[in-house]
Amino acid sequence: MILIDYRDKRPLYEQVGEKLIGLIVNGALSPDEKLPSVRNLAMDLSVNPNTIQRAYSQLEQEGYIYTVSGRGNFVSNPDSWRKDHMSAALSALEEALTGAYEAGIDKDQVLSALEKIYKGGRNK
């Protein structure tokens, strides 16, 4: 379900969190679906439960999941996160665009990259 890349310099909990966000945004995990328990996922990934706990807390705080103590963690309704998620993605995009502009990348190149991704569909 999730693979950890130990060469990645980012903290483990962030990696795990991001992967889960991907699954949620992709729709691989539906609203109100139960996520693996903290301990289970920790064992699966051979990682300390605290690390998973931290990833989950952060996801909850960002509105991607909600926690019912004693029951588990569940994915939130998209309303809770879609807006924030989109604005975050948008500002990341603007930053990348200015980077591209300053690097001297041609507008046509940007357009072709754009077409490739928006036509190819979900190829991740």
Q: Residues interacting with a copy of itself, by CB under 8 A? A: 6-7, 9, 11, 22, 25-26, 66-69, 71, 82, 85-86, 88-90, 92-105, 107, 109-111, 113-114, 117-118, 122, 124
CA distance 57 to 107: 41
CA distance 103 to 46: 41
Structure tokens at 72: 């588990």
Q: Which partner from the list a copy of itself, DNA, none does 44 bind, CB cut-off 5 to 8 Å by kind?
A: none
Among 25, 49, 78, 110, binds DNA (CB under 7 A): 49
Q: Which partner from the list a copy of itself, DNA, none does 40 bind, CB cut-off 5 to 8 Å by kind?
A: DNA
CB of 37 to DNA, least distance (A): 3
CB of 52 to a copy of itself, least distance (A): 16
Determine the Cα angle at 79 with ends 54 and 74, to 5°.
40
CA atoms within 13 A on the CB side of 20: 29
CA distance 11 to 52: 11
Query: Under the criterion CB under 7 A, does residue 37 sit at the interface with DNA?
Result: yes
CA distance 46 to 79: 33
Query: Under the criterion CB under 7 A, does residue 77 sit at the interface with DNA?
Result: no
Contact set with DNA (CB under 7 A): 11-14, 35, 37-40, 47-51, 53-54, 56-57, 60, 67, 69-73
